[in-house]
Structure 1
Amino acid sequence: MAVSLTFLLIFTLITGTDGALTVIPAKAGASVTIPCLYESKYRNHVKYLCKGYYWNSCSYAIKTDSQQGSGKYSISDDKIQTIFNVTMKHLTVENTHYWCAVEINRGSDVRQYFQLSVTTGTPSLYVDNQEVTGFIGEDVTISCHYRTSKERKWCRLGRNCVTGVSGSIDGTTVNINTKEKSVFNVTMKGLMPKSSGWYYCDNGNFQMPVHLTVTAKPTTAPTTVTTAGEMTTEGQVQTTKGEKSEVSSFPVPLSLIIPLSLLIFIVAVALLFLFILRIKHAKAQDSTPSKLNEGEMTYSEVTFRKNKALQSSAAESDAGVIFSSAVPVNKQGVKRTDAKDEDVTYSTVLHHR
């Protein structure tokens, strides 16, 4: 059993009731929390823990009206539940005799004696967990470990006990399995909200309390995701066909959040870069002059002839004249009719040797 386990003890403080000797096993170095129940009429009274074997000579360890102490003890009072809790830390073999007490003005204080059996090895009686949670309608099993075989019981504080292999406590079925060595397993079946409370394993003179809390079993809330439809208030998605579908929730591990965020950022930057390149490419195409189609070109014919006035020059020959012609062609590629003289432009180029 781990050193950090906390042991719980509960006493009902009733005036005039002789409490039987109660021994609570504990391990050295561990912490002990002692919830002490009291009657509602003592709700506004001072509660305290008294240390010592004899009541008349015990000394205050800690009180609810004074939180001063060595740090070994702490106390709190829950007036709604009528219970005050005392915690003792760093137990030693000398921590043995204590009293839970309620201060009574003009009268004798109400008190209950208990003894801690602190050992350096395995305690005489212990459970795996002092705080147990069960769900409504389901079962819960508590394992009570012991060193010496004595009469084994499972009891509810202030109520009845089950001593055989089966029984009932407040309408809840209890089964006790004693087949394993040095342990008896208690199974409570069909838990109800009223099953919540304090119980304890009993093995001879030793008692080990266990607090049971019964709650409704939590359900995983569906993830509300909107697709092409409408999101409902119950976490359902209304599809385009009018059908409802429920989406289960899948928790994303924290270790994946940063890589996913980085990936999304890289993809976004890449898409933006491609978008900019596309815009630049489109602008470059708009600024390039398009080639003219051959059918859209107009051809003209220009004929250069010698001027009669220049024929007398013996120094010039036909080689000094450049003839150029342009033939008009329609868009269907057919030549127009022959050009007339008035339609011809003459150009003379003299070549001087």
Structure 2
Amino acid sequence: MSNSLGFLLILTLITGAESITTISKVAVKVGTSISIPCLYQPKYRGHVKYLCKGYYFSSCQYAIKTHSPENQEYSISDDKSQNIFNVTIKESTAEGSYYWCAVEIDNGGDVRKYFHLSFTRDKSSLYVTDQMVTGFIGENTTITCYYRAKGNIDWCKLGRTCIKDGLIDGITVNTDKKKDSFSVTMSGLRAGNSGWYYCVNGDLQMPIYLTVTIRPTVESTTVTAATESATIEDQKEDQKTKEDRTFPALLSLIIPLVSLILVAIVALLVLFRTKRAKIQDSSGSSNLKEGEVTYSEVSFKKNQALPVESDGDVTYSSVVIKKPQGGKRAKAKDDNETHSHHKQNV
């Protein structure tokens, strides 16, 4: 294995691998993800970057490229302001492997640098609780690396010299080594101190990304909250004013509408009663006509003075029309009845 590593080192030097800087060996627990920074020279900002998996670069397989930045196993991003592209290996399996950080070169050999990723069933021999750390301008921040193996402990910035105590990019670094942890305190942070750092324990490295930003103040938070509260109150007041203006307008429309409906109802009632009275009058008149009864009285007299032209009797009839005395109408075949009284004189 040592011969193979030596061969890889010689090969990378020959092919210009010094154009890329990254960690050399990292160990993580199975099932966790790990982000690896790859520092490149400014002249490669416009080039395609990629991660390649395999022991030999000539036969490695593409894992991820910057023009297709994510898949189920890997992701990649290019921070051109710092000339660093980051690769993330998601949910690591139990199989360790060699990887290559690489930059495509048109009409020439790609520049690259390898690193070895190994896995453990338990916690790694060198680890941190979080790879992403936030600090605030002008303040101090402390980063703790946990280790389990013997060996020297160092603190480094990617592409710079490693130190135990001293200055890195103009800020003071103090380290505190304990039995199983190594704390690094960085004082007087500035915005330019954002970037990738890493702990070193023996032949293992663990990268950490530090973001330096302005701390939100309590006053600004309070002012923001008060402003939001005032805005909400103003909105409520505006809504109430709109409701107050809307109600009279609705009332002015509702009152005439209700009045109109009442007038229509009264008119319908009057019309209905008028029609009903007419119908009743018409019905009474019809009943009176149907109830009329015709009475007739017939008397037979023999005229002594006139000569008789024939042997037959002469019949005289007088008809008197009388209304019936009772309330009930006598039943007859027709609606009117005729009563006749015959008186015959000989």
Distance between the aligned counterparts of 1:222 and 1:198, measured in 2?
Answer: 30
Instruction: Quickly say closer, same or farther: Cα 1:65–1:213, change in 2 above 3 A.
Output: closer
Q: Which residue of 1 aligns with 2:33?
A: 31
Instruction: Quickly say closer, same or farther: Cα 1:251–1:123, change in 2 above 3 A.
Output: farther
Q: Which digits, 9 at most, give the CA deviation of each residue in 1:244-282, with x for residues without a partner?
A: xxx996999xxxx9xxx9xxxxxxxxxxxxxxxxxxxxx
| SS of residue paired to 1:155 | strand
Instruction: Quickly say closer, same or farther: Cα 1:209–1:56, change in 2 above 3 A.
Output: same
Q: Which residue of 2 aligns with 1:115?
A: 116
Which aligned runs of 4 or more in structure 1 are off by greater than 6 angstroms? 18-21
Distance between the aligned counterparts of 2:220 and 2:83, measured in 1?
Answer: 40
Distance between the aligned counterparts of 1:223 and 1:85, measured in 2?
Answer: 34
Q: Which residue of 1 aligns with 2:16?
A: 15
| SS of residue paired to 2:192 | helix
| SS of residue paired to 1:162 | coil
Instruction: Extract unaligned runs of 5+ from structure 1.
Output: 1-13, 225-234, 236-246, 262-353
- Report the residue type matching 1:45 in the other structure: H
Instruction: Quickly say closer, same or farther: Cα 1:135–1:98, change in 2 above 3 A.
Output: same
- Report the residue type matching 1:208 in the other structure: M
Instruction: Quickly say closer, same or farther: Cα 1:32–1:16, change in 2 above 3 A.
Output: closer
Q: Which residue of 2 aligns with 1:169?
A: 168
Instruction: Quickly say closer, same or farther: Cα 1:215–1:68, change in 2 above 3 A.
Output: closer
Q: Is this contact kept in 2: 1:149–1:182, CA < 8 A?
A: no
Q: Which residue of 1 aligns with 2:256?
A: none
Question: How far is 1:110 from its partner?
Answer: 0.3
Q: Which residue of 2 aligns with 1:57?
A: 59
Q: Which moved more, 1:60-69 or 1:45-54?
A: 60-69
Question: How far is 1:15 from its partner?
Answer: 3.0
Instruction: Quickly say closer, same or farther: Cα 1:151–1:59, change in 2 above 3 A.
Output: same
Q: Is this contact kept in 2: 1:48–1:63, CA < 8 A?
A: yes
- Report the residue type matching 2:141 in the other structure: V
Distance between the aligned counterparts of 2:58 and 2:106, measured in 1?
Answer: 17
1:206 to 196, 204, 207: 204
- Report the residue type matching 1:33 in the other structure: S
- Report the residue type matching 2:190 in the other structure: M
Question: How far is 1:203 from its partner?
Answer: 0.7
Q: Is this contact kept in 2: 1:221–1:249, CA < 8 A?
A: no
Q: Which residue of 2 aligns with 1:91?
A: 92
Distance between the aligned counterparts of 1:141 and 1:215, measured in 2?
Answer: 15
**How many residues of Structure 1 are paired with residues of Structure 2 in the alignment?**
217
Distance between the aligned counterparts of 1:123 and 1:223, measured in 2?
Answer: 40
Q: Which residue of 2 aligns with 1:189?
A: 187
2:217 to 215, 219, 224: 219
Q: Is this contact kept in 2: 1:154–1:200, CA < 8 A?
A: yes
Q: Is this contact kept in 2: 1:25–1:116, CA < 8 A?
A: yes
Distance between the aligned counterparts of 1:88 and 1:16, measured in 2?
Answer: 22
Kindly, what percent of the aligned residue pairs are identical?
Answer: 55
Instruction: Extract unaligned runs of 5+ from structure 2.
Output: 1-14, 237-346
Distance between the aligned counterparts of 1:190 and 1:209, measured in 2?
Answer: 21
**Structure with the higher fraction of residues in helix conformation:** 2
Instruction: Quickly say closer, same or farther: Cα 1:47–1:146, change in 2 above 3 A.
Output: same
Query: Which is greater in Rg?
Result: 2
Distance between the aligned counterparts of 2:22 and 2:221, measured in 1?
Answer: 56
Distance between the aligned counterparts of 1:192 and 1:151, measured in 2?
Answer: 28
Question: How far is 1:135 from its partner?
Answer: 1.5
Instruction: Quickly say closer, same or farther: Cα 1:210–1:50, change in 2 above 3 A.
Output: same
Q: Which residue of 1 aligns with 2:293?
A: none
- Report the residue type matching 2:74 in the other structure: Y
Q: 1:306-317 alignment to 2 at 5 Å? A: none
Q: Which residue of 1 aligns with 2:3?
A: none
- How large is the RMSD of aligned CA atoms in angstroms? 3.1
Q: With structure 1 as the length reference, what TM-score do the two structures score?
A: 0.55
Instruction: Quickly say closer, same or farther: Cα 1:248–1:36, change in 2 above 3 A.
Output: closer
Distance between the aligned counterparts of 1:223 and 1:213, measured in 2?
Answer: 21
- Report the residue type matching 1:183 in the other structure: S
Question: How far is 1:66 from its partner?
Answer: 4.3
Q: Is this contact kept in 2: 1:222–1:249, CA < 8 A?
A: no
Distance between the aligned counterparts of 1:190 and 1:47, measured in 2?
Answer: 34
Q: Is this contact kept in 1: 2:153–2:201, CA < 8 A?
A: yes
